[in-house]
Amino acid sequence: MIKRAMLVSLVSLLTLAGCHSFKKENVQPPTPLAKDFKPTVQVTRLWRARVGDGAGDSGVRLRPTVVDGVLYADSTDGKLAAFDATSGKKLWSKSSRTHGWFGWGDKKRKDAMYAGGPAVSGDLLAVGTLDGHVYGVSAKDGSPRWEAELDTQVLASPLIVGNQVIVRGSNGRIYSLDTATGERQWVYDQGNVPLLSVRGNGGLLVANGVVFFGSDDGLLVALRQDNGSKLWEQRLASGEGRTEIDRLSDADGTILLDGSTLYSAAYHGNVVAVDGPSGRPLWSHPFSSYTSLASKYNSIFGVDDQSRVWAFDKSGGADMWKNDSLRYRWLTGPAVQGNYVVVGDAEGYVHWLQTGDGALAAHERLSKKAIRAQPLVVGDVVYVQDVKGRIGAYRLSSP
């Protein structure tokens, strides 16, 4: 497990975090922002806050969540916090330091290295860690409820559905835990996972009693929610190439569902539309991405492995536009805020592009640190978190 983690980190540095060392001959420098750029939409920062030291150098993509007007966020140095989503006022904060998470045990125990981003439903908050745990706590004040120990890192946010906390592990397994106790209900094991993998795991999607996820070997997989048995799988990438890096084929983005159609993409693969009930492919378009997709009206938006932003026709997969003005700025996955696509980059900027033609409309700088997680849009506000734990909330208006 340790060996694989080291290799995963190496690949992460080569493919994603390599942007921190542009002097290397095989790494392209980021496209400079135009000095004469004039925004066509006004961006207002509503508030800024911070939770711990963020993701730091871990390479994980920490993304906050907003439920019932409260924003929940975490960090790999053991901080868990809740903020008023409108004002940014901190409502509560918990640290796993000193005597262990539940107040007993070895006083030298390390912090809970939160990594998956929190999931909240009702009064339950569930969060995974780099050291193989899932914690259930009260969403009202962060007080502990239960702890589940897994045998793998948890890089993606858990999903709470009914009496289940469904968790994806970096070992290729999907776990269903009881919301009241954290006890295992079932485990799905995909078998062997690739030796090399991009640092990260895509989130889970649950709909109509089915769990959907993209695997590290380029598959879109459907499981029964009640018992974890596999219903079908569909290949998104071939996993072929001369070198191990060429053969990387992770499907690391969150899967989209529109009606009964699923949309997903893979590194060194394709963006694909699949019929949800049967797994039958509807269309496929060559597209290499390690981030999530977004949708609006009849468009699917994605960021490729060179940080070019694309729009595809939802019905047939034809590309509608492509913007390469942010190339090699190592963008996050896109989100849609009103009539704009919003992405973060490795230099702490947040960018807005018009959904109609992809024209760059505005940019603001949250910090000088990288933004890796897909922005979160709730209503007319977008929330962005950088690798040092800074969180910004932005609203758009006419200039």
Residue 16 has a pLDDT of 41
Judge whether 96 and 111 are in contact, CB under 8 Å: yes
36 lies in a domain? no
Q: Which residues of the chain have pLDDT under 70?
A: 1-26, 97-111, 191-201, 237-253, 399
367 lies in a domain? yes
Which two structure tokens, joined as six digits, stand for 350? 């947040």
13 lies in a domain? no
pLDDT in tens, 213-271: 888 777 889 999 999 999 999 887 554 544 444 444 445 668 899 999 999 987 777 88
Phi, psi of 72 (to 5 degrees): -115, 135
245 lies in a domain? yes
Position 57, amino acid: D
CATH number of the domain at 312, please. 2.130.10.10
Residue 67 has a pLDDT of 98
Q: What percent of the chain has pLDDT over 70?
A: 82
Residue 237 has a pLDDT of 57
Is-above-0.75 flag for pTM? yes
What's 34-85 look like in SS3?
A: CCCCCCCCEEEEEEEEECCCCCCCCCCCCCCEEECCEEEEECCCCEEEEEEC
32 lies in a domain? no
pLDDT in tens, 361-394: 999 999 999 999 999 999 999 999 999 999 999 9
11 lies in a domain? no
Residue 170 has a pLDDT of 85
30 lies in a domain? no
Q: Domain span at residue 117?
A: 42-397
Residue 172 has a pLDDT of 83
C-alpha span between 224 and 188 (Å, rounded): 10
- Alpha helices of 277-320 — where are they, by DSSP H? none
Number of domains in the chain: 1
What radius of gyration, in Å, describes the C-alpha atoms of the chain?
Answer: 20
C-alpha span between 232 and 12 (Å, rounded): 29
**Strand extents, DSSP E, 40-196:** 42-50, 65-67, 70-74, 79-84, 90-95, 119-121, 124-128, 133-138, 144-149, 159-161, 164-168, 173-178, 184-189
21 lies in a domain? no
The position carrying tokens 């974890």 is 228
C-alpha span between 88 and 240 (Å, rounded): 47
